[in-house]
């Protein structure tokens, strides 16, 4: 190529483009070749308005189609579009600790804007190679009995909380934040995907009150923002987490609420770009988009990124393609049950459907694995007998089965506990229970040590010692705990 041709190409590459069509958040922009690359950020401006967009495809030799990352009200055909030559860049490093940022990396709290020299990283980044990753079976104790027993979490692993609307996903994630962040030696990054502004405000104030905000970064894309923004929020949060893992060799706890809204935003973007929908109306790139995000969550050397994700299950349908795509990437799968929530069992975690690849004698130890297996077996047998009990009454069962049903009901109640984040609503102080106490309590119930205790003594407590004290007090007063006994007689 001659010098004049090279100079002309450089001038064309630097020349601004012009918006030729605006269809909601979808912008068609004409440029001189060479065109901006896919995923490159474009700044469209005019009359004091600046809108960031991300290139999603090349329509022809001179036109790109981009998705807006900010509201497009006020944009017009002919508006000037400037290339940036790079993807969206997120601020990283110690400067973002204790701050709430939006998807574009701008400060969204009441603090000062970030300085111009703050380090930044591209939000699009390939997952680390398999040969670079390191595995870990070190357990994360959460203090939540049913999770520690039946779905243990691993440092450097991925855990997801699946549930329909109103069964307690966000409360459970908030409790995990409370339980783990305060005693966690590392950085915490929270991604609020399609969150309500109220939830973000509450979380910011709570973290300030508990004194853990200085080691936390909050990244929010609210539900009233364009789909492109909600679609890219997890990538911004992931980029911040990766920096602390790679550059500072620090462990990172990544919390996401709600990953389904990430998929939902991707489906909106796909429809806006004119792609044909796939199963149940989802985008044809569903599996790829989920994998691109989830595979970036990994451990490198001595540092790890541990992910805890809330996942909305539409219409309580666990066969939904989005739920299946997300569940195939997680190590621990916590399933919330609407039936248990309606019975007042909180956290409403289904002990049968909840699983973890770590629940192995070689990882958690033989005692833990054996007790967890027996707990599942006893509760599952009780569920099988529920229809018989409802029709004929518990008295029609044999003696061994009546004992088994009683123990299953006591186990269900023992695995409930009051949460710290719900204390204002429940009126009960939260409890955190060590794993060894959970195992010891379940073993005693399974072995018949609590057969003559009232079920109410085991409801919403911490360790079994609390129930023992309640049982002793009840024995002195002669109280029978009638509500629990009547419930037991009919169910």
Active site residues: 169, 195-196
The number of beta carbons lying within 10 Å of the beta carbon of residue 437 is 15
Q: How far apart are CA 335 and CA 323, in angstroms?
A: 11
What residues form DSSP beta bridges with 113? none
394 and 455 in contact (C-beta within 8 Å)?
no
Helix (H) or strand (E) holding 55: strand 49-58
The number of beta carbons lying within 10 Å of the beta carbon of residue 450 is 23
Strands 252-257, 216-222: pairing kind: unpaired
Q: How far apart are CA 54 and CA 266, in angstroms?
A: 14
Question: What residue ranges in 164-249 does DSSP mark as E strands?
Answer: 187-195, 216-222
Q: How far apart are CA 384 and CA 99, in angstroms?
A: 50
Strands 252-257, 187-195: pairing kind: parallel
Q: How far apart are CA 45 and CA 474, in angstroms?
A: 73
* Alpha helices (H) along 67-168: 145-150
334 and 344 in contact (C-beta within 8 Å)?
no
Q: How far apart are CA 473 and CA 453, in angstroms?
A: 11
Rounded to 10 degrees, what is the CA torsion of 160, 164, 165, 171?
Answer: -30
CB neighbour class for 201 (10 Å; exposed up to 12, middle 13-18, buried from 19): middle
Furthest C-alpha separation in the chain: 100
């Amino acid at each position: 190529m001659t010098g004049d041709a090279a100079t002309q190409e450089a001038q064309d590459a630097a020349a601004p483009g012009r918006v030729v069509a605006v269809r909601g958040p979808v912008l068609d922009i004409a440029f001189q070749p060479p065109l901006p690359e896919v995923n490159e950020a474009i700044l469209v401006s005019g009359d004091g308005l600046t809108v960031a967009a991300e290139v999603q495809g090349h329509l022809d030799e001179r036109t790109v189609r981009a998705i807006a990352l900010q509201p497009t009200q006020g944009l017009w055909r002919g508006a000037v579009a400037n290339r940036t030559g790079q993807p969206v860049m997120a601020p990283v490093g110690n400067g973002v600790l204790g701050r709430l940022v939006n998807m574009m990396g701008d400060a969204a709290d009441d603090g000062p804007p970030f300085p111009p020299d703050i380090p930044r990283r591209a939000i699009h980044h390939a997952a680390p190679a398999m040969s670079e990753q390191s595995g870990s079976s070190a357990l994360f104790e959460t203090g939540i009995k049913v999770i520690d027993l039946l779905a243990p979490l691993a440092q450097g692993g991925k855990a997801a909380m699946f549930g329909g609307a109103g069964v307690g996903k966000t409360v459970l994630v908030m409790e995990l934040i409370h339980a783990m962040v305060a005693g966690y030696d590392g950085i915490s990054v929270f991604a609020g995907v399609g969150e309500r502004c109220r939830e973000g405000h509450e979380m910011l104030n709570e973290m300030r009150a508990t004194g853990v905000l200085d080691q936390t970064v909050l990244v929010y894309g609210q539900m009233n923002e364009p789909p492109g923004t909600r679609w890219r929020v997890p990538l911004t949060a992931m980029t911040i987490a990766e920096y602390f893992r790679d550059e500072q060799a620090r462990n990172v706890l990544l919390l996401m609420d709600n990953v389904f809204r990430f998929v939902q935003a991707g489906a909106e973007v796909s429809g806006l770009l004119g792609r044909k929908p796939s199963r149940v109306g989802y985008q044809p790139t569903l599996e790829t988009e989920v994998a691109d995000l989830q595979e970036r969550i990994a451990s490198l050397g001595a540092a790890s990124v541990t992910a805890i994700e809330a996942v909305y299950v539409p219409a309580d349908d666990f066969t939904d393609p989005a739920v299946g795509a997300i569940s195939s990437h997680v190590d621990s799968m916590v399933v919330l049950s609407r039936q248990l929530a309606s019975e007042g069992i909180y956290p409403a975690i289904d002990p049968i459907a909840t699983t973890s690849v770590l629940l192995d004698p070689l990882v958690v130890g033989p005692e833990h694995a054996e007790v967890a297996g027996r707990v599942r077996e006893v509760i599952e047998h009780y569920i099988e007998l529920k229809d018989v009990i409802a029709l004929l009454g518990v008295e029609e069962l044999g003696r061994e089965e009546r004992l088994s049903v009683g123990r299953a009901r006591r186990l269900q109640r023992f695995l409930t506990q009051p949460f710290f984040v719900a204390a204002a609503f429940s009126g009960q102080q939260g409890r955190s229970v060590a794993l060894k106490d959970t195992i010891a309590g379940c073993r005693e119930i399974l072995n018949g040590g609590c057969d003559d205790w009232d079920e109410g003594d085991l409801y919403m407590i911490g360790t079994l010692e609390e129930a023992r004290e309640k049982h002793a007090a009840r024995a002195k007063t002669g109280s029978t705990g009638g509500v629990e006994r009547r419930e037991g007689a009919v169910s």
